[in-house]
Amino acid sequence: MPYKDLRAFLSTLKEAGELVDITRPIALQYDVAKALAKTSAADGPALLFKDTGTAFPLVGGVYGNRRRALIAFEATDETIHERVTRAIDNPVAPVDLVGPAPCQEIVLTGVDIDLTKLPVPTYSPKDGGPYITAGIVVSEDPDTGIPDIGNYRFQLHDATTLGVFSASNHRFGKNMAKAIQRKVPLHGAIVIGVDPMTMFACQVQSGDRSNDWFVAGGLRGAPVELVQATTSTLKVPAHAEFIIEFVVDTDDQRVEGPLGEYTGYYTPASMKPTAKVTAITHRRDAIFQGLLTGKPITENHVLKQIPFEASMLRQLQAQFPSISDMSITSSGGVQTYIVIAMTPRYEGEARHAILATMASNLHPKWVVVVDPDIDIRKSSEVEWAMSFRVKPREDVFVVDRTATAPLDPYTDGGYSSTVGIDATRPFGVEFPDVSEVPDWRTFDLPEIDKG
């Protein structure tokens, strides 16, 4: 059975030694981030901060390493991509919750709304203020009514106002643009603290006509239970910890940023729209959630990697069935550096696969194709292939004026260029055999073997 909510997953993590309680007071300004950065660097557990100086505990690092991500999917490295692609191909429709919704046990409206009572951390010294980083935004396309869920940042301005940022090519950004054009209000809801499959569903690469609740249901293998928000017609996850309902106000522009982002650099401050909070609803004993972002590798990158890889692999294999695997590296922000394993069926197929990848909405700067005997998740093996299976003049090419990844700090007026490297053996040409000791993996060596 899928995890019903965040709490069920946290229980599993605690039993596995992957969640530790912090009972002493920890300051929301910087110290929470320091603790999360330290456990991340040590490949340590998620942290549940019990004393945040507010009425609510804060959990962070929930998806801080691939090990916990695989626990969430109940999969292994060998089965994870097939697990996700199968789920995407078998969507499950959401259902309306029967009975009272846990996420609406407490409903705050009007003068009772106060965002400053939530444990919202300030992560980096130059950040513009406290940021909600683990929130899932629910919004609808004003033209089609199709719901979208995505992970977006929100800066806390005051008790009832948040700063809004979404890249223009993301669906939330597109929905805002359409609402402005049609001169209609755009309602949204920030969902905090959900079951892991709903959280990962936000990262799946799909088209603008995809209903993300169906994707989440496919990943869960069971319907997402939804309930109507209290101040709009939006549907939100019934078992979430917090729901922050809002209306986007494009007339009230305020300075938003800086924020240390997934690129590892601060994004500059600028004037952006605001979100006027219309209600806060939450569970009676709600748990807030934080998410560390910044210089790779952080939780932000781990959360993106599996859905990005699996959904992109699914898209490319439809055109190139000779592709066997794909790695979108965390160190490249899960965006700019992609390694593909494939067995070309004809001269030039690797280059075609590279061009198709360049044209994807990830906007990579580097695309490397290697043979399937290369472990694409080991940089030493990829570098070996690039060193001895490449003629740079023939196998390396650059495409100019390609779109950049969102928030890339180094572009040419919004454009960049992309490098393709065909590091597969030359097609139809004799090539030396690999010199490798056979059967070493299964050789019995009790002096160093563990367990």
Report, as an integer, the average pLDDT of 286-301.
92
**Looking at the structure, do residues 338 and 283 belong to the same domain, yes or no?**
no
Report, as an integer, the average pLDDT of 27-56.
95
Our measurement of the distance from residue 336's CA atom to the centroid of its chain's CA atoms, rounded to an integer in Å, reads 14
CA distance 219 to 204: 10
Q: Is residue 262 in a domain?
A: yes
Report, as an integer, the average pLDDT of 163-173.
85
| Four-point Cα dihedral 290, 125, 118, 296, nearest 10 | -10
Q: Is residue 310 in a domain?
A: no
Structural contact between residues 246 and 188, judged by C-beta atoms closer than 8 angstroms = yes
Give pLDDT tens digits for 138-148.
999 999 999 99
Q: Is residue 111 in a domain?
A: yes
**Looking at the structure, do residues 271 and 334 belong to the same domain, yes or no?**
no
**Looking at the structure, do residues 327 and 244 belong to the same domain, yes or no?**
no
pLDDT of residue 361: 80
Residue 451 has pLDDT above 60, yes or no: no
Task: Please report, for the domain that includes residue 327, its CATH number.
Answer: 3.40.1670.10
pLDDT band at 405 (very low <50, low <70, confident <90, very high): confident
pLDDT of residue 386: 97
Global pTM? Answer: 0.91
In one-letter notation, the amino acid at residue 41 is: A
pLDDT band at 383 (very low <50, low <70, confident <90, very high): very high
**Looking at the structure, do residues 266 and 355 belong to the same domain, yes or no?**
no
**Looking at the structure, do residues 35 and 119 belong to the same domain, yes or no?**
yes
Tell me the pairing of strands 46-51 and 19-25.
Answer: parallel
**Looking at the structure, do residues 275 and 335 belong to the same domain, yes or no?**
no
pLDDT of residue 411: 82
Give pLDDT tens digits for 89-127.
999 999 999 889 999 999 999 999 999 999 999 999 899
Place of tokens 């965006």: 335
CA distance 293 to 46: 14
Mean pLDDT of the chain, nearest integer:
93
How is residue 104 written in tokens? 């609406």
**Looking at the structure, do residues 354 and 256 belong to the same domain, yes or no?**
no
pLDDT of residue 208: 75
Place of tokens 């605690």: 14
Task: Report the percentage of the chain scoring pLDDT > 70.
Answer: 99
How is residue 132 written in tokens? 């909600």
Positive or negative, the CA dihedral 133, 48, 46, 192 is: negative
Peptide bond into 321 cis (omega under 30): no
pLDDT of residue 204: 87
**Looking at the structure, do residues 138 and 224 belong to the same domain, yes or no?**
yes
pLDDT of residue 97: 93
Domain total of the chain:
2
Q: Is residue 438 in a domain?
A: no
Angstrom CA distances, 399 to 73, 189, 360, 366, 422, stand at 37, 40, 14, 10, 14
Structural contact between residues 313 and 80, judged by C-beta atoms closer than 8 angstroms = no
* The domain boundary residue, chosen from 289, 305, 331: 289
Give pLDDT tens digits for 229-268.
999 999 999 999 999 999 999 889 999 999 998 888 999 9
**Looking at the structure, do residues 151 and 211 belong to the same domain, yes or no?**
yes
Task: Give strand pairing partners of 434.
Answer: none
Count other C-beta atoms under 10 Å from residue 419's C-beta: 17
**Looking at the structure, do residues 149 and 227 belong to the same domain, yes or no?**
yes
How is residue 9 written in tokens? 């997953």
| Four-point Cα dihedral 374, 376, 382, 384, nearest 10 | -30
Task: Please report, for the domain that includes residue 72, its CATH number.
Answer: 2.30.110.10
**Looking at the structure, do residues 97 and 200 belong to the same domain, yes or no?**
yes
**Looking at the structure, do residues 266 and 399 belong to the same domain, yes or no?**
no
Which domain covers residue 375, as residue numbers?
320-423
Query: Given its phi and psi angles, is residue 99 left (phi above 0), alpha (psi -120 to 50 degrees) or beta?
Result: left
Q: Is residue 350 in a domain?
A: yes
Residue 183 has pLDDT above 90, yes or no: no
CA distance 35 to 47: 8
* The domain boundary residue, chosen from 267, 289, 311: 289
Q: Is residue 450 in a domain?
A: no
Report, as an integer, the average pLDDT of 334-362.
94
